[in-house]
Amino acid sequence: MKSIIGKLLRQRYYIAQELGRSSFSTTYLAEDRDLPPITYCVVKIIQFEHSNANLNPQSEQWGYLQKLFIAESISLKRLGKHPQIPQLLDYFEENWQFYLVQEFIEGENLEQIVAEGLLSETETIQLLQDVLTILDFVHQQKVIHQDIQPSNLIRRHRDNKICLIDFGGVKQISLQVSSQAEDSTTQIIGKLGYVPPEQQEGNPNFTSDIYALGKTAIYALSSKSPHRVNLQNIELDSLTNNLQEDETQHTLTKISPRLTNILNKMVKQNYRERYQSAVEVLTELEREENVVYLPPPFLVSPPNEDLEAPPVATSRLKKRKIVLWALLILPFVAALITFVMGIYKNMYRGFAQYQNTNYQIKIKYPKPWSIKQLEDPITGEVVVFSSPKESESDIFREKIFITVEDLPDDVNELDEYAEILTNRIIDNPTYEIEVYPQEKLRLSNQIAKKIIYSRKINGINIRQLEIFTIDNDQVYIVTYMAERSKYYKFLKQANKTIKSLEIE
């Protein structure tokens, strides 16, 4: 295909430079002359051979390709509603070519980031969480990306967020034409090393994206192509056993057993053995909360018991030892208390406190969130906190609300109530419910349980977290409700709010 640099398409898009080329498409950086001041966009030309005798504007195949192109464009338009996926600005056909015009994401791709230095375990987990949140949205649209790899993940300069680009579905259009060629069987969507077996056989599914993301995380930790790093059954907290001796020095990041196990499961060869959804991986990543590790207390070695104590002033010596121990330990105890109080104070900086004496509860909530007292005797809802409206198009505001209800007469244990609540959720005929495994935790110094489930409200996909505990024959429930695509955006604030609940 000849270069079109310097040309003006549709009297609007001036082609400035080539960004990339593959067997499927050529991508250019362009100026949108209709949007002053200079606004950049990306123009992608879907590539196929004109030499195909059946390919002409009057052929049946061309009509089929047009329909396929329009369908894929509509899909990209829908996906572009996510803030970390490029918006589709325009699509058109000109001179036997299909063109897509997308938002230009200015930033560095993961290959460039890793070239400057390997990602740490914390950075890799953050990368996984960012991309999995996007994938959760993509999979809700019944779309499989099919081409997750380092070059298709861009850290956007203006907000440092990871963006997902270059969906593989568009490449199907090129494959439809080239499928009649003799070497078409060698054309696979995706990059070698990142494509799972089922996708190579032409049967991708949602777990195929999870596999590719797992391989991408391995690359971020090691800078090695995935086919050179076999993560399966690796030794704890190191990838070194999978590299040659001359490759092991300063070429990879050590990782914990927890992340090792998660990555191992993401890249299983058999897709049935992988995590079956992006939410399942996210749940696993958030399962282990941050822990502050304190240094061991300073201890003074006790006197040698084999030595005989002098036969004088025994009780006086014991008192002196007790006083000495107290003087030695007291500064460390005071420092520890100050340290813990400092952590707690910093944790809740930017939070306000709500107190309700009728229900004997206290809870901290983010200051920008609005508050509405309900005290509804029918539903048991006491108060609701709502996130600030982000824009005019923000149709659903995330909420945290507290409910207090009487414990049913025939229920005495938390596990019994948890079963009742789960059945109540599952049996609700109004919603399509997907419930995730329950988990025990502590809330207000009491044993509590957590349940997460997804449902739809007025066509909006919702993810809901409920934590509940029992106190004095009453059930206290704190619920965090968010649009599924934004669930993790406010989860940290929600968790802090929930953990601050005090039941007097």
Single residue among 288, 304, 319 that ends a domain in this structure:
288
| Residue type, position 44, single letter | K
Cis peptide before 37 (omega within 30 of 0): yes
| Burial call 402-415: b when 16+ CB within 10 Å, e when fewer | bbbeebeeebeebe
| Active-site annotation holds for 130 | no
What pLDDT, on the 0 to 100 scale, is given for residue 71? 87
The encoded tokens of residue 4 equal 């079109």
Catalytic residue among 32, 130, 136, 147: 147
Please indicate, yes or no, whether residues 375 and 439 belong to a single structural domain of this protein: yes
182 domain-assigned: no
146 domain-assigned: yes
Q: Are 15 and 43 in contact (CB under 8 A)?
A: yes
What residues contact residue 99 under an 8 Å CB cut-off, 6+ apart?
9, 43, 44, 45, 46, 90, 91, 92, 93
Alpha helices (runs of H) in 45-120, residue ranges in sequence order:
60-79, 110-116
Count up the domains in the chain and report the number. 4
List, for residues 22-64, the tens digit of each pLDDT value: 777 889 999 998 877 778 999 999 876 544 545 666 677 778 8
Is 0.85 surpassed by the pTM of this model? no
What share of the chain has pLDDT > 70, as a percent? 75
Other CB atoms within 10 A of residue 115 CB: 12
Which phi and psi angles does 203 have, rounded to 5°?
-130, 60
Please indicate, yes or no, whether residues 368 and 423 belong to a single structural domain of this protein: yes
List, for residues 312-327, the tens digit of each pLDDT value: 455 666 667 777 777 7
Distances (CA, A) of 488 to 99, 235, 389, 402: 34, 31, 17, 20
183 domain-assigned: no
CA dihedral angle for residue 262, residue 263, residue 269, residue 270, rounded to 10 degrees: 20
Could you tell me where the beta strands, DSSP code E, fall in 157-235?
162-164
Please indicate, yes or no, whether residues 274 and 416 belong to a single structural domain of this protein: no
Please indicate, yes or no, whether residues 241 and 377 belong to a single structural domain of this protein: no
Please indicate, yes or no, whether residues 309 and 341 belong to a single structural domain of this protein: yes
Find the domain containing 80 and state its range. Answer: 1-104
Please indicate, yes or no, whether residues 333 and 429 belong to a single structural domain of this protein: no
Please indicate, yes or no, whether residues 4 and 43 belong to a single structural domain of this protein: yes
Please indicate, yes or no, whether residues 239 and 269 belong to a single structural domain of this protein: yes
The predicted model gives 92-104 an average pLDDT of 88
**CA–CA separation, 174 and 55 (whole Å):** 12
The predicted model gives 72-88 an average pLDDT of 90
| Residue type, position 473, single letter | D
Please indicate, yes or no, whether residues 314 and 392 belong to a single structural domain of this protein: no
List, for residues 297-353, the tens digit of each pLDDT value: 433 334 444 434 445 455 666 667 777 777 777 777 766 676 555 555 567 888 899
What residues contact residue 278 under an 8 Å CB cut-off, 6+ apart?
132, 133, 135, 136, 139, 206, 209, 210
Please indicate, yes or no, whether residues 196 and 97 belong to a single structural domain of this protein: no
140 domain-assigned: yes
Please indicate, yes or no, whether residues 322 and 196 belong to a single structural domain of this protein: no
Please indicate, yes or no, whether residues 219 and 160 belong to a single structural domain of this protein: yes
Other CB atoms within 10 A of residue 136 CB: 24
The predicted model gives 13-24 an average pLDDT of 85
Single residue among 300, 317, 347 that ends a domain in this structure:
347
- The arrangement of strands across the sheet holding 162-164 comes to 107-109, 153-156, 162-164
